[in-house]
């Protein structure tokens, strides 16, 4: 158990935006919301997963929809109390604590907002170890955990609870509701007991985010060059370095979908590359050769500051380092690849681990 205040929050937000692999929403917006909540209500208590009783009732807090929409329409501020009250009444159980459903951007920060405002502890665990675009794409699905009952509400006060036959159906129906609600909603799903959370969750993800954020913030203080320091701390593989020359992006089905195209710089001068994304980065192709795909992480960072760049902030002319990170081991299982492998997203290739694809880079 420890307290998370404003100083720690800055590093957590920065590190989580790297693990978000381009998705999870705007880290700036999420950080502002969490800072405001902590300033108003004080530091958040964060628990190690092993400190949570097996019979404790835990709920993930998240935003669903296109990150670009949230940046424009915002939140009313009381969504989390509405959601917690709805799900508590439905189950007939008092919520013990909250947790993030994924790492990255706004969804790494919203549980801090809920914890601070509701006086609940935050659990240092999530269901991805990164960010993915669809609701069924969590390690809890691999473990057979049901996503519903799921509670949704919007900034206008509309709210509902849905039950579905599969986690994929939850994604389909909740996505349709989210579109009708303006493209973004606040949600609780995968409510579970402490035992299930400890068995299938990605533990200590908030701590990992904090460590990464601190390393990025102090990147020029290491032994080597800033790039060498970054790759060492992130345990990353350099895939490409280039200038953005085109960004193709559209909001479709409450997703940011498209690709970003690069012309090589420095040692990659004369080469070209592109990264496809659906909220999160899906695949990196350099000179016609795929070097990385989901479920491994493909992260775009500024070449000077090494601050991660979400997909909704990609702009012409920006100089970017493309880095690959290995995913959480469960995603490399047969079931994991079926849920989040490249073919699910329409990328015509089998999953090959990042370290094998990029071994000659």
* pLDDT tens digits, one per residue of 199-244: 999 999 999 999 999 999 999 887 889 999 999 999 999 999 999 9
- Whether residues 55 and 174 share a domain: the answer is yes
- Whether residues 230 and 196 share a domain: the answer is no
- Whether residues 54 and 120 share a domain: the answer is yes
216 part of a folded domain: no
- Total number of domains in the chain: 2
Q: Which residues contact 47 (CB under 8 A, 6 or more apart)?
A: 1, 97, 121, 122, 123, 124
Q: How far apart are the C-alpha atoms of 156 and 264, rounded to whole Å?
A: 46
322 part of a folded domain: yes
Could you tell me whether strands 122-123 and 44-47 are parallel, antiparallel, or unpaired per DSSP bridges?
parallel
Residue 302 has pLDDT above 70, yes or no: yes
Residue 62, domain CATH: 3.40.1610.10
138 part of a folded domain: yes
Distances (CA, A) of 170 to 31, 126, 161, 234: 28, 19, 11, 33
Q: How far apart are the C-alpha atoms of 245 and 194, rounded to whole Å?
A: 47
- Whether residues 237 and 157 share a domain: the answer is no
214 part of a folded domain: no
- The DSSP result for 334-347, as a single string, is HHHHHHHSGGGGT-
What pLDDT was estimated at residue 40?
95
pLDDT digits 0-9 by tens, 249-275: 887 766 778 999 999 999 999 999 999
Residue 77 has pLDDT above 80, yes or no: no
Helices 27-41, 6-19: axis angle to 10 degrees equals 160
- Whether residues 46 and 110 share a domain: the answer is yes
Residue 296: alpha-carbon gap to chain centroid:
13
What pLDDT was estimated at residue 68?
64
- Whether residues 108 and 183 share a domain: the answer is yes
Q: How far apart are the C-alpha atoms of 30 and 9, rounded to whole Å?
A: 11
Q: How far apart are the C-alpha atoms of 330 and 139, rounded to whole Å?
A: 7
Q: Which domain holds residue 72?
A: 2-206
State which of 179, 206, 233 marks the end of a domain.
206
Q: Which residues contact 73 (CB under 8 A, 6 or more apart)?
A: 155, 182, 183, 184
Question: Which of 279, 270, 296 shows the shortest CA–CA distance to 349?
Answer: 296
166 part of a folded domain: yes
Q: How far apart are the C-alpha atoms of 307 and 26, rounded to whole Å?
A: 13
Q: Which residues contact 265 (CB under 8 A, 6 or more apart)?
A: 241, 242, 243, 303, 319
- Whether residues 120 and 252 share a domain: the answer is no
134 part of a folded domain: yes
pTM: 0.93
What pLDDT was estimated at residue 110?
93
Residue 92 has pLDDT above 70, yes or no: yes
């Amino acid at each position: 158990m420890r307290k998370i205040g404003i100083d720690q929050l800055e590093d957590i937000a920065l590190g989580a935006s790297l693990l978000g692999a381009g998705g999870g929403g705007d880290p700036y917006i999420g950080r502002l919301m969490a800072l405001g909540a902590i300033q108003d209500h004080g530091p958040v208590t964060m628990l190690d997963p092993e400190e949570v009783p097996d019979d404790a009732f835990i709920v993930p807090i998240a935003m669903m929809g296109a990150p670009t929409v949230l940046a424009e329409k915002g939140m009313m501020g009381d969504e989390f109390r509405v959601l917690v009250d709805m799900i508590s009444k439905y189950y007939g159980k008092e919520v013990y604590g909250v947790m993030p459903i994924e790492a990255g951007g706004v969804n790494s920060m919203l549980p801090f907002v809920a914890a601070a405002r509701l006086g609940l502890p935050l659990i240092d665990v999530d269901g991805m170890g990164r960010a993915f675009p669809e609701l069924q794409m969590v390690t809890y699905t691999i473990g057979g955990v049901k996503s519903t009952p799921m509670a949704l509400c919007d900034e206008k006060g509309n709210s509902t609870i849905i039950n579905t036959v599969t986690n994929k159906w939850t994604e389909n129906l909740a996505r349709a509701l989210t579109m009708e609600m303006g493209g973004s909603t606040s949600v609780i799903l995968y409510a579970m007991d402490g035992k299930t959370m400890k068995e299938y969750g990605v533990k200590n993800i908030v701590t990992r985010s904090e460590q990464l954020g601190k390393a990025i913030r102090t990147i020029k203080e290491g032994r080597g060059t800033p790039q060498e320091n970054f790759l060492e701390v992130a345990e990353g593989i350099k895939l490409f370095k280039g200038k953005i020359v085109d960004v193709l992006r559209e909001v479709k089905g409450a997703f940011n979908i498209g690709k970003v195209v690069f012309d090589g710089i420095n040692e990659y001068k004369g080469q070209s590359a592109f990264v496809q994304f659906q909220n999160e980065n899906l695949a990196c192709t350099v000179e016609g050769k795929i070097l990385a795909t989901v479920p491994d992480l493909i992260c775009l960072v500024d070449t000077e500051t090494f601050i991660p760049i979400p997909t909704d902030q990609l702009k012409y002319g920006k100089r970017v380092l493309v880095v690959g990170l290995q995913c959480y081991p469960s995603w490399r299982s047969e079931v994991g690849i079926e849920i989040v492998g490249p073919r699910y997203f329409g990328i015509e290739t089998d999953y090959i681990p990042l370290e094998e694809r990029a071994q000659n880079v």
